[in-house]
Structure 1
Amino acid sequence: MAPEQWLDLSTGINPHGYPLPMPPADVWARLPEPDDGLEAAAARYYGCKGLLPLAGSQAAIQLLPQLRPAAARVGLLAPSYNEHARAWRMAGHRVEALPALGDAAPAAIEARLPQLDVLVLVNPNNPTGLRVTVETLLRWHRGLAARGGWLVVDEAFMDTSPRHSLLAADPGTDLGPGLLVLRSLGKFFGLAGARVGFLAAEPALRAALAERLGPWALSGPARWAATRALEDRAWQEQTRANLTAAGARLEELLRRYGIATEGGTALFRWGRRDDAVAVQDALARQAILVRRFDDPASLRFGLPGDEAQWHRLEQGLEAL
């Protein structure tokens, strides 16, 4: 079956991404320029002046483990975005799985902090939706930083609820030593193909990562596109409202057909199912693609993009 015939709900990307106009021709003809307004637009949007533009947050995910001495003890949520654990293991660090679901998860994570050199969290977590409060994160950061440790917080799904961001805790300032926050335009803005992200961190760490990235980490067209998306406050506010409503609709639809979701964000819903393999296969036979996790057995559903897709998902669920 051709790719365009599938209903792909396997990602957590906004199906109605930012409507970019055509870039002007000179953006393609010049090398990227650091004074083109991107950093200023990002500082206003995120409320943080210490930001390093990246070719997606994946660039930082891959390189940050190389800036720590080998064999660090690194705690990561499980299940979560797999690239974090892979990057830390490849750099020779010892990775420990931490709970990512339930009201008791933050207390269990905190109990492990004295044994960790680095704590890496996706907040809210993908796929479980676990959200750790700013107050708790700042307390954890103080404990880690006191002994030279890091708290790395990946806020890829934070744009629908920016008041919960660590960057909103003390707007307009640099982050303290040992506190690192990743942001991305891929999910909320629907611009995954542009490969634009940011690292907020202390100046010395940003400089060390920038040196490894080298010049022109972002293309000129990507910088141009990101600047316009970050500056469009009217679109952002309307999109937050639209996504919140769509997420609630998805949760209700899944519940109606026997899939009780336990977590998620405005962009996806997640729930455990002992028969997750069978459900995924049954939907795939109807050309509906959803994401399956094995430990625990569970499924993640992204948002349909229009009424025809909503109807198609409902028909698929009804046939289970």
Structure 2
Amino acid sequence: MKGRIVVEQPGNSVVTDLGRFRGPRFGLPVNGALDQFSARAANILTGNPDNAPVLEVTALDFRMRADQDLLISVTGAPLTLTVGGREQPQWEPVSVRAGEAVAIRGIHTGLRAYLAIHGSVDAPLLMGSCAPDTVVGFGLKLAEGTVLGIRRSVAPLRQPYFDIPLFRLGLERPAMGSELVVDVTDGPDVAEFGDSASLLFASGYTVSGRSNHIGLRLGGQLPERMSSAEVLSRGVPVGAVEVPNREELLVLHRGRGVTAGYPVLAVATSLGLDVLAQARPGDVVRFRKTTVAEATLAYRASMRQLESLRTTVNTVFKLLGVGDEPGWRELPPAIAI
């Protein structure tokens, strides 16, 4: 019989994946997990494909309970993770016995956590992705009593002689704090700001409480556009740093519309977007200038780190017999829309 998870305290949580990559060509945002590194790591730690559905928990406490044994991992912002009332480590695979409550409490010095389950969960798909989209009203936002189908069960894994953690995989966790450094490259309109463009790197910017998955609003010392010519609406990348007015910066995130008509001063790198995903209202963001070549090298280094983790996890899981069932790496069909 297929198992299930019941959400007992949803907080602010959704089921998502890495995004709707076919969406922008049809006018839909890419969306998906805002902290892509943490979402990928959570899936790798449970032996899933990178793009398997995960639970994204934002800011508030969360609790769920399953009727079958699970293997989970929780990554992202620092927090307290308990299973059956016992505190468990983040960034490691964790066994859950049937009937035990999994609770995420006290997210701090960061904003978002990612909970992955070996084999993942059932979720509806739109254009091949389960990522929520507020524009078209699609997605699985969790509520009290929401039931999620479990695709696979894993018997509890315990150290046979000592009650100590079975896994210590040594993943280097991204640093988080109330002052965040975000790398950016020059935007297409940087020349229009003249010498004032350097103000972007001169001081910090405070994250507004009006920020969301569409974009972050930042207050601080603003560069001033020298040209008064109208900016026509055009395609803009995720990560575009816009100067829409003299009151705030706007950094477009993964929920951004595919076109906009504000001048683009800079563009946050892929790793910079992961940092911004963890920015809380009141945090200070400092921008650091980089080049496309340097940003590419940094991104490739982070992907090599995840690939190394995948190799380690696959080796350990093979020795433990985790994922030996036929087709365990292939996600079964979900509900396509």
Question: Same fold by TM (over 0.5)?
Answer: no
Whose Rg is larger? 2
Measured against the shorter chain, the TM-score band is: under 0.3
Bigger fraction of residues in strand: 2
TM-score (norm 1): 0.24
